[in-house]
Amino acid sequence: MASKELTYQDVAEHNTKKDLYVVIHDKVYDVSKFVDEHPGGEEVLLDVAGQDATEAFEDVGHSDEARETLEQLLIGNLKRNPGDPKPKAPIPGAVAPPANTSNATGLGIGLYAIVLLGGLAAFGAYQYLQQQQAVQSA
């Protein structure tokens, strides 16, 4: 059943409310019958119709129950072709602001660590030289 292979192109053709495929973690789901039942509303599903919905799905933090529902809608695997949109690849300028902020924070901490380590190394070298001088002049 779920062994069907679909390309991104195939999925993109199913982008209407009555015929709605989405890709989540490289698997293809037919959510046509679920649109009306979705507790998060039909709008969000229509937004990602025929596209990769991995990020949208994960951002919400769906429950295990939601994931089970998803399993029932599975129709196949995505066959990725070169040039297809990548789900998680950060697109410059198209990253959501919260993601940006956390990235910047991560970099900030990394820079801090580098500066701190550099300082420690310099201090260590200074101490060592002082010691050497003390030994020589003794």
Q: Which residues bind ligand HEM (CB under 6 A)?
A: 22, 29, 31, 34, 38-40, 44-45, 48, 53, 56-57, 60, 62-63, 65-66, 69-70
CA distance 79 to 76: 9
CB of 64 to ligand HEM, least distance (A): 8
How many residues are there in the chain?
A: 138
CA-wise closest residue to 6 among 24, 125, 114, 105? 24
CB of 107 to ligand HEM, least distance (A): 27
Q: What one-character-per-residue DSSP string does 59-84 give?
A: HHT--HHHHHHHHHHEEEEEEPPTTS
CB of 25 to ligand HEM, least distance (A): 11
Q: Based on CB atoms, which residue is closest to ligand HEM, 6 or 70? A: 70
Q: Which two structure tokens, joined as six digits, stand for 103? A: 């990235």
CB of 52 to ligand HEM, least distance (A): 10
Helix (H, G, I), strand (E, B) or coil at 117: helix
Radius of gyration over every alpha carbon of the chain, rounded to an integer in angstroms: 26
Q: Based on CB atoms, which residue is closest to ligand HEM, 4 or 33? A: 33
Angle ∠(35,36,42) on CA atoms, nearest 5? 60
Q: Based on CB atoms, which residue is closest to ligand HEM, 63 or 102? A: 63
Q: Based on CB atoms, which residue is closest to ligand HEM, 82 or 98? A: 98
